[in-house]
Amino acid sequence: MKILILIAVLFFSLLLNAQEVLSPLISNPVLSVEKLFINKNKSAITLPFFDDFSQNKPNVNTDLWEQSSVFVNSTYPINPVTIGVATFDGLDEYGFARSFSQVNPSSPSDTLLSQEIDLSAIDAAYLMFYFQGKGIGDSPQFNDSLVLEFFSDALTWEQIWFSFGQPMQEFEKVINIINDPKFLHNAFQFRFRNYATISGNFDHWHIDYIKLDEFLSSSDTSVLNDVSFVYNIPSFLKNYEQMPWSHFKNNEEAELKDSIDVILRNNQSNSFRTFKYDLFENNVWTPQFPLYNGSYNGPYELEINLYDQIGNYFLEDPNTVSIGTDIFDSFLEDSVSFHFKFVSSHQLVADYNLFNDTVFHIQHFNSSFAYDDGVAESAYGINVIAAKLAYQFTLNRPDTLRAIEMYFPQILDSVNHIPFYLTVWDNNNGQPGSILHQQEVYPNHTENGKFHYYYLDSVFQLVGTFYVGWEQITNDVLNIGLDKNKLANQFMFYNIGSGWINSSYPGAWMIRPLVSMDEIIITQDEIKIDNFKLYPNPANQELNILLNSIDNIISIYNLQGKIVKQIFVSANNCKLNITNLSSGMYVVEVKNNEGRKFKKFIIE
């Protein structure tokens, strides 16, 4: 039973006297961006009905589903049957918490409802699926449940199966034989529902490989005859998910992995497979990759006895997946992205589902270093005053630190009015050393999953290893995004006064330093004019700002994208002294829970 204590200070803390604190999220920004449009006027569909959620998008296939509030993903499950699952949680279809005033400890949350299916011409059918509680997410409590219901010819829903909340390391198979005439009609439907804590991203269930078809014999449900990828392809870089192209170029051998793990799962299929992969740059196939025994895209057979007891095979042969560094020689741009396509196939035996035989990976190179994949599964913080958090990065050549990107996900208790010291340290034998830079800033919680750029108020050149992070002014938990699918703990340090130690929570903080030899200019796309007012314009000594809301962070940027002044304002108006700013064009940014707004002004 999950007891909810919705008070601002201790709502998400796991332990009263904790130092490091993990906090569940109250939203899923992927769903808030990707809206689902359901077609409810479809005629009944025919058998077979099949979905393993291997499509590369966060919403369900509307040809199969009439109603859905689940999250389709490949990041929350552990060892799925095939890549991609439907995840049930405490969020609605838009990715937001359903209620912060929940009365019952476990309430109805997500629904996954099939389209109407015509079963009138058969004597028996079977519905098969796999499910898992928790995965890498939040464990459903015992009083939580996952429920399967059928729609009868009496126009009523009947519960067929359920499971109480439980953490599970592997997926469990469920088979239901449908031979009762009340379900064998021309408008049959089934639905999954979960009961959960509905005030956030809690109580995860994952469903995979749903199949409904005519039941002829027991062999229908015993063999899937399917080989699938299990996870997306990982980064080809040894340490980073992405890094600046200028630091990768001419350092390919040092930065690239010798091999990567490509995980396949054999679900009672044929004894061997072929495997190939292609590289595209700007949608153009690059034939230099890969080489196998002197030829491009040579097949590689996977013998059945190489699979482990649950059917997984870890393809990590360096002769098969090594990347030739010569493919990077022709690219001179500051930024570039390489698209990798991986295909598993068999020329003789047909696979039941071909969608899960192909996966993609995009390897980005731009101006920032990142250990994370851009998606937070949790939030991280420290509840000790003056605590320090430092993230280690290493340059391959001298460069200029221009900005630090941070992702602060939406949390019930917003701390965007609490300042902290954005800090840069040098290296001291593998740990943070002397402070190179500090400036006072505020957390910026975003709803769309975007990083916030903290432009440094003074830029300077760095060499070798350095650290970015913060020093807290209060004991409030600031809640930086934590990517639980990537492990960067060897680079993650915190200090509560007794020395630097590595973070104990597996994952990667969503903090990215941006380096560039060129100045960073605020683009016109970033300048969104809104209805707050400022005057006089031009100004020379004082700038008045009239706001349409309270609790705002006011920032002034020069045209190089650097913050030259920043304050927190709890009223709907403020006066800024600008006598210390030189003449020229500036941009005022107003940030609050609704987003960011900009206006230009001139200082004479």
Of the candidate ranges 84-93, 259-268, 574-583, the one whose mean pLDDT is the lowest: 259-268
Count how many domains the chain has.
Answer: 4
User: Are residues 244 and 305 both part of a single domain?
Assistant: yes
Same domain, 62 and 162: yes
Give pLDDT tens digits for 40-89. Answer: 667 899 999 999 999 888 999 999 999 999 999 999 999 999 999 999 99
Task: Taking residues 500-515, report their average pLDDT.
Answer: 96
Residue environment code for 172-191, b if the CB has 16+ CB neighbours within 10 A, otherwise e: eebebebeeeebbbeebbbb
Judge if 299 and 245 occupy the same domain: yes
What CATH number has the domain bearing residue 412? 2.60.120
Are 444 and 563 in the same domain? no
CATH number of the domain residue 98 falls in:
2.60.120.260
Contacts of 142 (CB under 8 A, 6+ apart): 1, 164, 165, 166
Q: Evaluate whether 511 touches 408 at the Cβ level (below 8 Å).
A: no
Q: Whole-angstrom Cα distance, residue 22 to residue 75?
A: 18
596 plus 454 within the same structural domain: no
Where residue 221 falls (left for φ over 0; alpha for ψ -120 to 50; beta otherwise) is alpha
Query: Are 256 and 306 found together in one domain?
Result: yes
| Residue 470 shares a structural domain with residue 353 | no
Residue 17 lies in a domain: no
Show contacts of 61-66: CB within 8 Å, 24+ apart: 62/36, 62/37, 62/38, 63/39, 63/115, 64/114, 64/115, 65/38, 65/112, 65/113, 65/114, 65/115, 66/38, 66/40, 66/42, 66/113, 66/114, 66/115, 66/116, 66/189
Instruction: Supply the DSSP string of 247-310, one letter for each residue.
Output: HHTT-HHHHB-S---EEEEEES--S--EEEEEEEETTEE-TTS-EETTEET------GGGS-TT
Question: Is a pLDDT exceeding 50 seen at residue 377?
Answer: yes
pLDDT band of residue 3 (cuts 50, 70, 90) is very low
- Which H or E element spans position 597? strand 595-603
The strand pair at 511-515 and 399-406 is best described as antiparallel
Domain membership of residue 28 (yes or no) is no
Tens-place pLDDT, residues 320-359: 444 445 555 544 456 677 777 777 765 445 555 667 878 8
In the numeric block, which tokens belong to residue 296?
A: 């491009």
Are 301 and 274 contacting, i.e. CB atoms less than 8 angstroms apart? yes
Residues 317 and 432 in one domain: no
Q: How far apart are CA 374 and CA 445, in angstroms?
A: 15
Instruction: Answer yes or no: do 342 and 400 share one domain.
Output: no
CA atoms of 188 and 214, how far apart (whole Å) = 13
Decide if 132 is inside a domain.
yes
H-helix segments, 334-476: none
Residue ranges of E strands in 134-232: 145-151, 157-164, 172-178, 190-196, 205-214, 226-229
User: Which domain, by its residues, includes 416?
Assistant: 378-515
Domain boundary among 222, 252, 279: 222
Check: pTM over 0.95? Answer yes or no. Answer: no
More confident residue, 351 or 443: 443
Judged against a pLDDT cut of 60, whether residue 505 lies above it is answered with: yes
